[in-house]
Amino acid sequence: MRNGFILRAGYGGARRAVAAHLKNRSKQTEPLKGSTLTEPKTYRTIARLYDLLDLPFEYFRYRRIRPQLWQGLAGWVLDAGVGTGRNMPYYPKAAEMTGLDLSPAMLKRARQRRQALGIAVTLQQGNICATGFPDGHFDAVASSFLFCVLDDSLQLAALSELRRICKPGGEIRVLEYELSAHPLRRAIMRLWAPWVAFAYGARFDRNTGQYAQAAGLEIVGDRFVHGDTIRLLTLRAT
């Protein structure tokens, strides 16, 4: 498929053709060709309650942070790990958006949010470690709290895949949790950790930035956006 599009339309035409193809497929949220999918049982079970469980954090914390993830992005942009679509209200107006997620149950909620908000975004089921998108397809990629649910063994593979599908010089932004250095906050986070792992399959100590160099990425931005527990990494291909 990839070579056929490129031979017929060239690079820019290929991206438009792929996007149109994915838009048609996204109505059924079929997996991209070449991806191996296993929907996490956690999200299959929790999807219908996810937004309710996350509501206090969304209201008091995340809604102030999310705009920073998308600020200044334009062109063809991927929301990697779109989940139930919580980022949708903050998508840049100048962007052609695609949302990718492994869980059909979460994507069902995202489709409902897309319709309710009237947001233009193509939703696609796929594996973040093998998306099936062409090389350099996106001008930028952003993810919010995706890597904290990826096992340590998948961190490098996921970052490498994001590097592959992002055009040279494009930004890859990663919004993630980190264990606080403050003793009391760190202790509280450790108390929360078993519930977070059970309910969301997530951990606070993934330290995704440590895999950047091996993935061929340079950290060009690294700052905390909430205390010392949520940080925003900005990466570019080296």
Which tokens in the block code for residue 8? Answer: 């017929």
Which residue's structure tokens are 């009391």? Answer: 184
Residues 6 or more apart from 104 whose CB is under 8 A from it? 29, 39, 125
Over residues 132-167, the pLDDT tens digits come to 999 999 999 999 999 999 999 999 999 999 999 999
Over residues 59-109, the pLDDT tens digits come to 999 999 999 999 999 999 999 999 999 999 999 998 999 999 999 999 999
CA distance 137 to 193: 36
What CATH homologous superfamily does 45-237 map to? Vaccinia Virus protein VP39 (3.40.50.150)
Domain residues of the chain, as ranges? 45-237
Which tokens in the block code for residue 225? Answer: 């956006």
